[in-house]
Structure 1
Amino acid sequence: MHVLMVAAENDALPNAKVGGVADVVRDCPKALVEKGLSVDVVIPDYGFSHLERHHIGEVHVPFAGQMQKLDVWKLAKSEKGVTQLVISHWEFSRHNGAVYCNDEPGRPFATDASKFALFNAAVCEALLQGIIRTPDVVHLHDWHSACVALLLKTDSRYRKLAHLFLAYTVHNLALQGIRPFKGDSSSLEAWFPGLGYNGEKLCDPRYFDCFNPMRTAINLVDKVHLVSPTYCQEVLRPSDAEKGFFGGEGLEADLQAAYEQGRVVGILNGCEYPGMKLDDISLASLYQHAENALFQWMAKSPVLDSSYYIAHQRLLKFKTQPFSGPLVTSVGRLTDQKALLLRQPYDKGLVLDELCQRLKQHNGYMIILGSGDAELEQIMTSVMARQENLLFLKGYAHFVGEYMYHLGDLFLMPSSFEPCGISQMLAMRAGQPCLVHSVGGLRDTVDHLVSGFSFQGESLAAQSYELVTSFSDALELKKSQPDKWCSICEQAKNARFTWQSVAEGYLSGLYQ
């Protein structure tokens, strides 16, 4: 069996990773090859001209009223039955190598939607011309590849490819890439003016004059894949933000219909074992890597960011003070998905303030690594200024994260929803138990009081209370029941979520 994966990200290539989809596209093809498959992976060329590669063809695509020329390249990095492909066009690389762009208010996804629509059209044309080998399965990832399904199933030019089996993985249902049908330069009819389509299957269920790529793919493909069994069930229910439940995000009716047709599967993502080997696993090494990262981030601007200044002062304090308490860690993008509960009001401050205060009773430190939403970054900075045992590192540095996974005593991941999650797997792999909200992939990976700790609640207020209570209980258990704590750490370390198991799930449930 031959599979073509189409995605926006791929961590097999430098600087082509933003989120967890990049890990999947990097690791899963290797596991599929071990099962006897061959895999091509194609993403846009965000600036890979410096890599060793060779030109395998060019395509001319009618797009937005003009004929666009795009080049297809095979990278020398291709190995073990996995072929790495990129498609080049000036539109893909004009943002200094950035995978995604932020548009002005009122035009969400505009730049990216146009960019990925062109990329998708080029993939279809390269398939039609035989530049990209015809697969048995086209595996699409998130809304960025949804126009492949649209064109293959509705454009008469690609009629000879309409029989291809299409699998579609939803990594994050909250991001759907919605754009207008017409009346904007970044709209479906602007990109493909001659396309005949059924708007009822393609429109956003809330905004009927808008094209929803995520919904389009769900309705057109042969199989829809959610990246954990629990999340697969959650998305069949409508979201209720006031109660702190995030499910189908407006697409639950389409997902329910697909589920009843036997087209929806829930397969948990995997993790590479063993993890990275670190030379000197010590707090001193962590602090040094953190300081190096802070200096690099500071140097990017002539104006000193207050978050970096406070973090450096806090780091100097951590380095000079003796420390024997628990170290609580958290690594991840700062979005409401990850941090909504941390910014909820609690007593006279926020939930994060309360957690720091509870941790202070055990002489513990908390280190949070991540960036993202500007408002959340400011909230984290403000709490760091108030709480002397919190270090917030606004950014991402790979080695800092690796040391945090290995040195932390308790990993904090109170996501409001989590399709799968990778950070909890990485922490567990290093023997660090996690405290998680019992949703999605977190529920499927963390067993309460066996391999970690979990909480739940029927409202935001209840979830906040349960988070704080579970946090205190976990710290108290570490202090009063060391044998039980060691057992939980060992169970976390021995848990396995392998890509080999994922590949088996793909073969038995997704690719047929």
Structure 2
Amino acid sequence: MKLLFASAEISPFAKSGGLADISLALSKVLNGRIDVTAIMPLYRCIDKTHYDICSTGDSFNLSFGGLSYDIELFTTTIDGLKVVFVYNELLCERDSLYGHSEEGYEDNDLRFAIFCHTIVEIVKRDFFDILHLNDWHTALTALLVRDTGLSTKIVYTIHNLAYQGLFPKSSMVRTGIDPKHFRMEEVEFYGEVNWMKAGIGNADAVTTVSPSYAVEILTPEFGCGLDGYLRLHSEKLTGILNGIDTKLFDPSTDPALPATYSKTSKRGKMVCKKSFFREIEMEQSTLPLFIFIGRFVEQKGLELIIESIEEMLKRPLVFVMLGDGENKYHSALQKVAQKKFNFHLHFGYDETLAHKMYAAADFLVMPSLFEPCGLNQMVAMRYGTIPLVHKTGGLKDTIHQIIPRKRVCGMGFVFNKMKKDLFLQSIDSAIKLYGNRRKLNSIRTFNMSCDFSIQKCAKEYLKLYESLL
């Protein structure tokens, strides 16, 4: 079986979030069982020398929308996985992947249309049994493949329904979409073009990244305006829980850590905590350490955090946040950091620092308003850090409230509604658990034994691919 796995970002080459991590982890594991090629854009930020990325010698011209675009293909391998990179100046020569604002670059439709048309050209030249498309950036490919008449089976994965690839109707012409598709049953969405509808409507199978999210997006509350369209195509919708690369996230071998440790010998975790406190110039290493790692956007619960943070920091704890996002959240958090000794803020994203934080922390704060899957909570448990989450989406599937004499993978603190008092109650419960070292270590050990590996996810995708063939 030959699979072409298309994603706008694949770690470690380019990353803005969990999409990059799961794209690498899943395609690598699948490649151990079938013939996989991954494909992504060759953004300016990618270090070609470091990753030994070389030209394939294959260049060609694409024509659509009345214009032509020069394409050059590059390639490398990572852990045995072949990765193909698409280079076009308009697509790749940018300071960031999608743009610094929430709206993104104004010409993202044309940029990623170039990527999608290139994928189709590659499928024409070298037949693949399965084409696996991810998120809105590649969704248009499904429609283009159908228009071309290719028989390749298409799997389309929704990683976050909130980002659908919405563009004005005028975008149809310049991106090479046949005007006949501008219908409510296809890509039309309240007068605009919706790329995600192109993926959903033209794929043979549609997946989300957790079972609960697959159910939630069929409702108006979580459907982001597409719940009706998704219900129409619900017979091909499946929720497959994401997983993590347990070799990459392994506290017993992680080179980023000052000391390693495992579920049977956790002494190194305290070393990591003390080292981290020295690094951020804090001396409260005996207090429980709560961390947040993620984007500073409403979806990740930033409204609730900012509403609660003054009360939270009155408690005997240290809170450290790592992330980037909207300016209003930056400003609000910066004001708190300037006056609170037990709050540390790090803007931007640093992979090494994130690993150190997972290892040092006692608790991970993840109060997402909605969460398609989430990988942070799985990584945290791998490092013996206990999650504190809002009961939604993939968090509901992976984190279960700590109950005496009942063990369910994984265990943490779960609050049911996005309310300040419920959030702070969970914080208080975590602090109480911290005071019971024997119980704390028992839960850490149990969570570190849970299997949230990408292997389980890959098995489900293999079953899906085989069912389509």
- TM-score, normalization: structure 2? 0.88
Q: Name the amino acid aligned to 1:474.
A: A
Which residues of 2 match residues 23-422 of structure 1 at below 5 A? 23-34=21-32, 36-47=33-44, 48=46, 49-50=48-49, 51-75=52-76, 77-80=77-80, 82-96=81-95, 98-102=96-100, 110-128=106-124, 130=125, 133-154=126-147, 158-159=148-149, 161=150, 163-182=151-170, 187-192=171-176, 196-205=180-189, 207=190, 209-239=191-221, 247-259=222-234, 261=235, 263-274=236-247, 275=250, 276-277=254-255, 278-280=257-259, 281-283=271-273, 285-287=275-277, 315-316=280-281, 318=282, 321=283, 323-343=285-305, 350-358=307-315, 362=316, 364-422=317-375
Count residues in correspondence.
439
Q: Aligned in 2, Cα 1:172/1:357: closer, same or farther, shift over 3 Å? A: same
1:440 pairs with one of 393, 402, 416 = 393
1:304 maps to: none
Long gaps (5+) in structure 1: 240-246, 291-314, 345-349
Instruction: Report deviation, 1:55.
Output: 1.7
Long gaps (5+) in structure 2: 260-270
- Does residue 455 of structure 1 match 2:415? yes
Matched-pair identity in %: 28
1:7 maps to: 7
Q: Aligned in 2, Cα 1:264/1:109: closer, same or farther, shift over 3 Å? A: farther
Q: Aligned in 2, Cα 1:52/1:86: closer, same or farther, shift over 3 Å? A: closer
2 CA distance for matches of 1:229 and 1:167? 16
Q: Aligned in 2, Cα 1:369/1:115: closer, same or farther, shift over 3 Å? A: same
CA contact (8 A) 2:319 2:343 kept: yes
Q: Aligned in 2, Cα 1:46/1:354: closer, same or farther, shift over 3 Å? A: same
Q: Name the amino acid aligned to 2:83.
A: Q
CA contact (8 A) 2:130 2:152 kept: yes
After TM superposition, which residue ranges in structure 1, 4 or more long, deviate above 6 angstroms?
none
CA contact (8 A) 2:217 2:227 kept: yes
Instruction: Report deviation, 1:477.
Output: 2.6
1 CA distance for matches of 2:132 and 2:112? 16
Instruction: Report deviation, 1:101.
Output: 1.4
Instruction: Report deviation, 1:287.
Output: 4.6
Cα displacement string for residues 304-343 of structure 1 (whole angstroms, at most 9, x for unaligned residues): xxxxxxxxxxx44x1xx35311111111111111133434
Q: C-alpha root-mean-square deviation of aligned residues, in Å?
A: 2.0
2 CA distance for matches of 1:194 and 1:509? 30
2 CA distance for matches of 1:375 and 1:170? 28
- TM-score, normalization: structure 1? 0.81
1 CA distance for matches of 2:374 and 2:79? 27
Instruction: Report deviation, 1:268.
Output: 0.6
CA contact (8 A) 1:178 1:213 kept: yes
More strand by percentage: 2
Instruction: Report deviation, 1:213.
Output: 0.5
